[in-house]
Amino acid sequence: MISFFCPYCKHVQETFDEQAGTLVVCEQCKLEIRVPKPAAPPQLPSAAMSGQAVSVPFWKRLFARTK
């Protein structure tokens, strides 16, 4: 299901994912509005954000120490 606000009256609309990109009539103000695409699924955290070690190429570590 997609939940979104009518851009005219701010009424919350709910519709099926299959209707993304189509025109529907707002239940409140009766104006025609386009259903937005569903939000992208949340991305999994990277190794750096999860506290796991991140592999860094040897040459980067070597040159980082010479500065």
Residue with the bigger pLDDT between 31 and 59: it is: 31
Q: What is the mean pLDDT of the chain?
A: 82
E strand segments, the chain: 2-5, 12-15, 23-25, 32-34
What are the residue boundaries of the structural domains of the chain, listed by start?
A: 1-37
| Residue 34 confidence (pLDDT) | 97
For residue range 24-56, what is the model confidence (pLDDT) as tens digits?
999 999 999 999 998 777 666 665 555 666 677
d(CA 11, CA 36): 14
What is the pLDDT confidence band of residue 65, given thresholds at 50, 70 and 90?
A: low
Contact of 3 with 12, CB cutoff 8 Å? yes
pLDDT of 2 > 80? The answer is: yes
pLDDT of 59 > 60? The answer is: yes
